Amino acid sequence: MRQWLKNVARLSRKEIFSLFSDATLMILIVFAFTLAVVSVAKGIKAEVSNASVAIVDGDQSALSRHLRDAIQPPYFKPPVDVDRRAIDAELDRGRYIFAIEIPPDFEANVLAGRSPSLQVLVDATAMTQAGLGAAYLQEILTGETLAFLRARNLQAQLPAVAVMRVQFNPNTESYWFTSTMQIVVNITVLSIILVGAAVIREREHGTIEHLLVMPVRASEIAAAKIIANGSVIFLVSLLSLWLVVNLWLRVPLQGSLALFALSTALYLFSVTALGMWLATLAPAMPQFGLLAVPTYAVAYLLSGAATPVQSMPAAMQPVVQFLPTTQFVTLTQAILFRGAGIDIVWPQLLGVTAAGGLFLALALARFRAMLAQQG
């Protein structure tokens, strides 16, 4: 056992030197865990932001001015007056996402209790902005109308009033979520790529024959590639979470970083073993890319990072629980967003470990067969 550990340590050192000497991969790693995280966090927004609004004010009353003034940045741009006959054309051109039409005598009908309606037209091709923005506008317009009535000592008749309490992210800032999930994405992609590239690079450069004449076993070679590349990703991902997400983007981290580090180490064991297995199935780098890309894409789309598992078809939900990516996303969200402890996330830790064991067994079997063919 001691000799096995010594051989793994020597081979791991060789793998780390090989990785550090590859300038392209090093630039990719640094970019993925710094600028890529920031650009995704700041560039992709799930909430409404600076949505364009057109308004047709047919009332020109104090209430209509209150409604106009309530539509403000950063959610919406200041409303722009347009002619009623030009609304359809402006929406077709994509100049505005929302168009509000306030009918004549709107204030008078509200004060008289006649329950008048105003019209909000939405360009639903801007899907995220349209869906959330329509709800935002409804809340803004309803709230301003009620405030207008209360200011005049008129009681608004509503059957119920909804009170919302948002936990863990009270301002619903999407970059809190996207920045952390981007680290999960980068861990998955780079772990598969680095380990797979290390295996195929040995084969394409002919250095695999050098390993075959050395007194080392297939398990030692495989373990060295997994440990070396996984350690680099482990260190860089934790630094990115602390320096980029927490300090730069000012995203609060609620839970135990030590527990998250343990979860990341177990997940890296699983996904690097998967990358090695895929590399043993592919004869060259182009074929490895054709295997790795759809594998990652399916794992990401079914992980819950893009779409909650609860929103997937009922038949799909138990299936995706077997994916280590799904378990790691659940772990990350529970630990970093909700401050969960090991008493809550231990089933996910067990699932990630079991998947890693399965992938490692498959990778070792294929790796031994590959070395036997080379020899």
The answer to whether residues 133 and 48 touch, using CB atoms and an 8 Å cutoff, is yes
Give yes or no for a contact between 274 and 229, defined as CB atoms under 8 angstroms apart: no
From CA 316, how far away is CA 310, in angstroms rounded?
A: 10
| Domain-located, residue 166 | no
Please choose, from the candidates 159, 221, 165, the residue with its C-alpha nearest in 3D space to the C-alpha of residue 9.
221
Distance CA 149, CA 136 (A): 20
Report the relative pairing of strands 119-122 and 98-102 from DSSP bridges. antiparallel
Looking at the structure, tell me whether residues 226 and 367 fall in a common domain. Answer: yes
Q: Considering the chain, what is the average pLDDT of its residues? A: 86
Q: Tell me whether residue 336 is in a domain.
A: yes
Distance from C-alpha of 60 to C-alpha of 57, rounded to nearest angstrom: 6
- Note whether residue 11 is domain-resident: yes
Is 295 found in the same domain as 183?
yes
Residue 159 lies in a domain: no
Q: Is the pLDDT score of 329 beyond 70?
A: yes
C-alpha to C-alpha distance for 31 and 25, rounded to whole angstroms = 10
Least confident span in 75-84, 158-167, 304-313? 158-167
How far is the CA of 194 from the CAs of 197, 204, 273, 322, in angstroms?
A: 5, 15, 11, 24
CB atoms within 10 A of CB 310: 8
What secondary structure, in 3-state letters, does 80-125 show? Answer: EECCHHHHHHHHHHCCCCEEEEECCCHHHHHHCCCCCCCEEEECCC
Element housing 57 (H / E) = strand 53-57
Which of 102-116, 137-151, 200-214, 279-293 has the lowest average pLDDT? 200-214
- 80-81 sheet: strands from edge to edge: 80-81, 53-57, 98-102, 119-122
Residue 7 vs residue 86, higher pLDDT: 86
Residue 90 has pLDDT above 70, yes or no: yes
Residue with tokens 């343990």: 262
Q: Assess whether pLDDT exceeds 60 at residue 153.
A: no
225-277 pLDDT per residue, tens: 889 999 999 999 999 999 999 999 999 988 899 999 999 999 999 999 999 89
Whether 303 shows a pLDDT value over 70: the answer reads yes
Q: Are residues 86 and 66 in the same domain?
A: yes
Residue 77 CA from chain centroid, whole number:
27
In a domain, 157, yes or no: no
Final residue of a domain: which of 95, 120, 151? 151
* 308 and 201 housed in the same domain: yes
Q: Reply yes or no on whether the pLDDT at 91 is more than 60.
A: yes
Contact 70, 144 (CB under 8 A): yes
Is 375 a residue whose pLDDT tops 60?
A: no
Given pLDDT bands bounded at 50, 70 and 90, which one contains residue 312? confident
Q: For the chain, what is the total number of helices (H) and then of strands (E)?
A: 15, 4
Q: How confident is the model at residue 189 (pLDDT cuts 50, 70, 90)?
A: very high
pLDDT at 279: 87
Q: What is the mean pLDDT of residues 338-347?
A: 92
Same domain? 230 vs 334: yes
Question: 344 or 151, which is more confident?
Answer: 344
Q: How far is CA 107 from the centre of its chain?
A: 45
Q: Are 257 and 195 within one domain? A: yes
Q: Is-contact 119 100, C-beta < 8 A?
A: yes
Compute φ and ψ for 14, nearest 5 degrees.
Answer: -60, -40
Nearest of 268, 273, 271, 229 to residue 361 by alpha carbon: 273
Closest CA to 244 of 7, 33, 27: 33
Whether pLDDT at 176 is above 70: yes
Identify whether the C-beta of residue 117 lies closer than 8 Å to the C-beta of residue 79: no
Q: What is the pLDDT of residues 6-36, one digit of tens each?
A: 878 888 888 888 888 888 889 989 999 999 9
Residue from 328, 337, 223 nearest 265 by CA: 328
Find the domain containing 332 and state its range.
Answer: 2-44+173-374
| Residues 229 and 263 grouped into a single domain | yes
180 and 318 part of one domain: yes
Task: Residue 229: count other Cβ atoms within 10 Å of its Cβ.
Answer: 29
* φ, ψ for residue 119, nearest 5 deg: -105, 135
pLDDT beyond 80 at 96 = yes
Number of domains composing the chain: 2
Q: Is residue 358 part of a domain?
A: yes
pLDDT at 216 > cutoff 80:
no
Which letter does DSSP use for residue 55 in this model?
E
Residue 200: inside a domain, yes or no?
yes
Return all residues near 259 (Cβ < 8 A) that are at least 6 apart: 335, 341, 342, 345
115 and 91 both lie in a single domain:
yes
Strand duo 80-81 + 53-57: pairing? parallel
Cβ contacts of 122 within 8 Å, gap of 6 or more: 97, 98, 130, 133, 134
Owner of token pair 């060259």: 284
CATH code (residue 72): 3.40.1710.10
User: 141 and 109 share a domain?
Assistant: yes
For residue 161, the model assigns a pLDDT of 61
Task: Give 349-363 pLDDT, tens digit per residue.
Answer: 999 999 999 998 988
